[in-house]
Amino acid sequence: MSDAISESRVDAAIDSVQPLVAIRSLSKYYTRGDQIIPVLLDIDLDVFPGDFVALMGPSGSGKSTLLNLIAGIDKPSSGELRIGGVDIVLLADVDLAAWRAANVGFIFQFYNLMPVLTAYQNIELPLMLTSLSRTERRERVEMALALVGLTDRQDHYPNELSGGQEQRVAIARALITDPLLIVADEPTGDLDRVTAAEILGLLDRLNRELGKTIIMVTHDPKAAEAAHRMIHLEKGVLVH
Amino acid sequence: MYVALLVLKNALRHKLRTILTVVGIVVAITAFGLLRTIVDAWYAGANASSSARLVTRNAVSLVFSMPLTYAQKIRQVPGVASVALANWFGGVYISERNFFPQFAISAPSYLEMYPEYMLSPEERKAFLTDRTGAIAGRKLAELYGWKIGDQIPLRGTIFPGTWTFTLRGIYDGADKGTDQSTFFFHWDYLNETIKKQFPRRGDQTGVFVVQLKDPQQAAEVSEAIDATFKNSLAETLTETEKAFQLGFVAMTEAILLAIQAVSFVVIVIIMAVMANTMAMTARERYGEYATLKALGFGNGFVALMIFGESLAIALVGGAAGIALTFPLARGFADAMGSLFPIFFVSEDTLLMQFAAAILIGVVAACIPAWKAARVRIVDGLRAVA
Ligand SMILES: Nc1ncnc2c1ncn2[C@@H]1O[C@H](COP(=O)(O)OP(=O)(O)OP(=O)(O)O)[C@@H](O)[C@H]1O
Ligand SMILES: [Mg+2]
């Protein structure tokens, strides 16, 4: 995919193209006893196909909560949340799980790899929910391994890999099902500058070369620079 | 296939914990099997008994005997095929420790009634033609290293003096349930010897064994026999051989119940231990379960992983426990000598051990699996940080 096309995708956000993520008056509260703790207040947000969005804000502002809602692993208290035209708020848990498997790639701050599986098996894991044959899975995993530059480490277990390598495995796992959307919660939060820059470079390639839409939560302004667009959250409210 | 891989690898993650749990299950399943086998052995005599045979004894107590003349009268009761005599001897072989049952029997008729005691024609003939001859079960003979022709002295307790018998035959059991630890000799020999010393004790016997023409008639024939001796000097009590044997077991019923209770308690305890292990294991992995769920795996998959791991551990322990029960039961039987003439691990016991292992695995996984399935993904993910 050429740069020209992905640039034009971003520009197209202005009118013709439908947003991939459409959020309307989304709120999230927690209740503790009779006390109501608002976490997200009346959020409106559109993310367009091919976007690379950095979600920033102080600790406790609700970044992870918003990202989790978009990724379909948490439920809002009210509001609408359409992704690829599907209002995921209305999906039953079972359907939501299937929807996530098909449409969302996850990247976590602490990688969240299965310690008992090798790099190869970790990357293959999401494909177990598809009907792909063993050979098809192998082709895909080998491509993903090559993309993140870990072909020679495929038989290593997570505890035999560095943090940066683990995160690369996680990235390969996130894109193995070719999802619409990749969500990353502080993907460089546990890495040093140099390694962080490598990971950000990789995300940038996913966005530019594969056209993946990425929403990334980060504290780090340097990391945010990799994105095309920055969104700020302050105490549960979006400040543009 | 992936579940199996995850289950296996997860089970081996904390090797020491898994090994200790497996050891616990092995001990519990083995103990369970052994205790049940002991209970079985206690009931074995009754289970091996034939429903085609009745036992007639003195209504007052087994300790009292009945006159020999009863045999003729019993034979005349409709439905009776044949009658044999048997008398408990209660002798001591070398030392009190060496307990085994000894009976004086009316040899040809008694042996015909008990085809499960298998004797070669030669040995049978040798026994029948030797007044002081005796036969012993294979296990008993092996226990004391007796060979055909050996002189076996028994010191009488009920009947005074030292009685020496010549071993003329060694019988085998028709099946595993047949008692092979009994010693038989001729009632005639006992009777004649006793008559010389204590004429009043002669021509008496402890029990009559009655062969029925039709096992269905056990109740009627029993009543008819007892009616025959109603209001006589020695009234009789006739019951099926099984009921007669169970009468012995009943005396120790409380002990048996206690043993059975302990065997179940052992299983319950290991269940609690195993449940604790699985709860601990699952709690450590909430982050992983949450990650799997985020990736789209269902609650069922997570539950399956936990059940799989729990069952795998329980079944490995169960299998080892079952395997270990056999040598242990043999060792126990040997140590007990002929106290339990029939001592083997039954199929029912094996099935119960297997069922117990599965139950342990399933029960232990229930709560952790339910909790892991219920945990919210976002809460589980927070556990990683
Ligand atoms: N289960 C919960 N119950 C009550 N309050 C919660 C719960 N989960 C999160 N919160 C609150 O929601 C707010 C937002 O949390 P969130 O994790 O989204 O913040 P964040 O912006 O990602 O912060 P950080 O940068 O530290 O990761 C916090 O004030 C937090 O205390
Ligand atoms: Mg956060």
Q: pLDDT tens digits, residue range B75-90? A: 999 999 999 999 999 8
Q: pLDDT-derived band of residue B91, with 50, 70 and 90 as boundaries?
A: very high
**The pLDDT value given to residue A1:** 40
**The pLDDT value given to residue B337:** 65
Q: Are B296 and B370 found together in one domain?
A: yes
Query: Is the residue at B55 inside a domain?
Result: no
Q: Are B85 and B156 found together in one domain?
A: yes
A112–B288 CB contact, under 8 Å: yes
Return the minimum-mean-pLDDT range out of A172-176, B292-296, B328-332. B328-332
* Minimum-distance CB partner of A97 among B287, B288, B296: B296
**What is the mean pLDDT of the segment spanning B133-154?**
94
Which phi and psi angles does A173 have, rounded to 5°? -65, -35
Rounded to whole angstroms, the Cα distance separating A26 from A43 reads: 5
Return the minimum-mean-pLDDT range out of B14-23, B73-82, B103-112, B342-351. B342-351
Q: Are B217 and B332 found together in one domain?
A: no
* Helix or strand (DSSP H, E) at A240: none
Rounded to whole angstroms, the Cα distance separating B169 from A223 reads: 96
Query: Is the residue at B241 inside a domain?
Result: no
Give B270→chain A minimum CA distance, Å.
Answer: 27
Decide which of B176, B207, B234 is a domain's last residue: B234
Fold of A3-239: Rossmann fold (3.40.50)
Angle of helix B15-48 relative to helix B253-284, nearest 10 degrees, comes to 160
Of ligand 1's listed atoms, the one at least distance from the Cα of A68 is: 18
Alpha helices in B198-252 (DSSP H): 218-228, 241-250
**The pLDDT value given to residue B385:** 56
Q: Are B291 and B318 found together in one domain?
A: yes
**The pLDDT value given to residue A201:** 93
**What is the mean pLDDT of the segment spanning A68-97?**
93
> Is the pLDDT reported for residue A11 higher than 70?
no
pLDDT in tens, A147-160: 999 999 999 999 99
Query: Is the residue at B50 inside a domain?
Result: no
**The pLDDT value given to residue A96:** 94
Give yes or no for A106 touching B (CB within 8 A). yes
Q: Which domain holds residue B79?
A: 60-234
Return the SS3 of B107. helix
A125–B295 CB contact, under 8 Å: yes
Return the SS3 of B250. helix
> Is the pLDDT reported for residue A180 higher than 50?
yes
Rounded to whole angstroms, the Cα distance separating B244 from B86 reads: 14
Give the torsion sign (CA, A35, A41, A42, A47).
Answer: negative
Q: Are B208 and B74 found together in one domain?
A: yes
Give B368→chain A minimum CA distance, Å.
Answer: 19
B295–A114 CB contact, under 8 Å: no
> Is the pLDDT reported for residue A9 higher than 50?
no
Query: Is the residue at B244 inside a domain?
Result: no
Rounded to whole angstroms, the Cα distance separating A85 from B117 reads: 84
Q: Are B182 and B319 found together in one domain?
A: no
Rounded to whole angstroms, the Cα distance separating A87 from B320 reads: 54
Query: Is the residue at B240 inside a domain?
Result: no
Cβ-contact A54, A226 below 8 angstroms? yes
- Exposure pattern of B215-243 as b/e (b: 16+ CB <10 Å)? eebbeebbebbbebbeeeeeebbbbbbbb
Query: Is the residue at B210 inside a domain?
Result: yes
**What is the mean pLDDT of the segment spanning B286-307?**
94
ipTM: 0.90
Whole-number average pLDDT of chain A: 90
Query: Is the residue at B239 inside a domain?
Result: no
- B contact test, residue of A125, A127, A159 with most B CBs within 10 A: A125
| DSSP codes of every residue in A80-141 | EEEETTEEGGGS-HHHHHHHHHHHEEEE-TT----TTS-HHHHHHGGGGGS---HHHHHHHH
**The pLDDT value given to residue B320:** 97
Q: pLDDT-derived band of residue A16, with 50, 70 and 90 as boundaries?
A: low
> Is the pLDDT reported for residue A15 higher than 70?
no
* Helix or strand (DSSP H, E) at B40: helix B15-48
Give A74→chain B minimum CA distance, Å.
Answer: 7
Q: Which residue of B has its CA nearest to A173?
A: B295
Give yes or no for A239 touching B (CB within 8 A). no
Decide which of B200, B234, B268 is a domain's last residue: B234
Q: Are B162 and B192 found together in one domain?
A: yes
Rounded to whole angstroms, the Cα distance separating B251 from B237 reads: 18
What is the residue type of A159? N
Q: Are B94 and B222 found together in one domain?
A: yes
Q: Is A131 in the pocket of ligand 1 (CB under 6 A)?
A: no
Q: pLDDT-derived band of residue B1, with 50, 70 and 90 as boundaries?
A: low
Query: Is the residue at B242 inside a domain?
Result: no
The CA–CA distances, whole Å, from B190 to A23, A86, B48 equal: 104, 99, 27
Residue partners of B28: CB distance under 8 A and separation at least 6 = B266, B267, B269, B270, B317, B321, B356, B360
Cβ-contact B66, B236 below 8 angstroms? yes
> Is the pLDDT reported for residue A7 higher than 80?
no
**The pLDDT value given to residue A184:** 95
Q: Are B32 and B173 found together in one domain?
A: no
Q: Is A28 in the pocket of ligand 1 (CB under 6 A)?
A: no
Rounded to whole angstroms, the Cα distance separating A155 from A152 reads: 8
Q: Is A98 in the pocket of ligand 1 (CB under 6 A)?
A: no
**What is the mean pLDDT of the segment spanning B132-143?**
93
> Is the pLDDT reported for residue B30 higher than 80?
yes
Return the SS3 of A51. coil
**What is the mean pLDDT of the segment spanning B96-110?**
90
Phi-psi region of A36 (alpha: psi -120 to 50; beta: other; left: phi over 0): beta
In this structure, what token pair is assigned to residue A74? 């948490």
Q: Are B183 and B74 found together in one domain?
A: yes
* Helix or strand (DSSP H, E) at A204: helix A193-210
Decide which of B201, B234, B267 is a domain's last residue: B234
Which phi and psi angles does A237 have, rounded to 5°? -120, 140
> Is the pLDDT reported for residue A196 higher than 50?
yes
Give yes or no for A128 touching B (CB within 8 A). yes
Whole-number average pLDDT of chain B: 90
Residue partners of B212: CB distance under 8 A and separation at least 6 = B52, B53, B54, B79, B80, B81, B218, B221
A40 C-alpha to center of ligand 2: Å? 13
**The pLDDT value given to residue A10:** 47
Place of tokens 């056990």: B218
Return the minimum-mean-pLDDT range out of B30-39, B41-50, B169-178, B294-303. B41-50
Q: Which of A154, A120, A114, A118 minimizes the C-alpha distance to A134?
A: A120
Q: pLDDT-derived band of residue B40, with 50, 70 and 90 as boundaries?
A: confident
Rounded to whole angstroms, the Cα distance separating A49 from A201 reads: 19
Return the SS3 of A71. coil
Q: Is A109 in the pocket of ligand 1 (CB under 6 A)?
A: no
Q: Are B34 and B158 found together in one domain?
A: no
* Helix or strand (DSSP H, E) at A185: strand A181-185
Looking only at the bridges linking them, the beta strands covering A35-47 and A213-217 are unpaired
**What is the mean pLDDT of the segment spanning B53-72?**
90
**The pLDDT value given to residue A57:** 93
**The pLDDT value given to residue B245:** 78
Give me the count of residues in chain B.
385
In this structure, what token pair is assigned to residue B361? 């695995």
Q: Are B94 and B187 found together in one domain?
A: yes
Cβ-contact A66, A234 below 8 angstroms? no
Q: Is A39 in the pocket of ligand 1 (CB under 6 A)?
A: yes
Q: How far is CA B363 from the centre of its chain?
A: 29
Total number of domains in chain B: 2
Higher pLDDT, A207 or A16: A207
If interface means Cβ-Cβ distance under 8 Å, which residues of chain B face chain A?
Answer: 2, 5-6, 9-10, 13, 287-288, 291-298, 376-378, 381, 384-385
In this structure, what token pair is assigned to residue B367? 């709560």
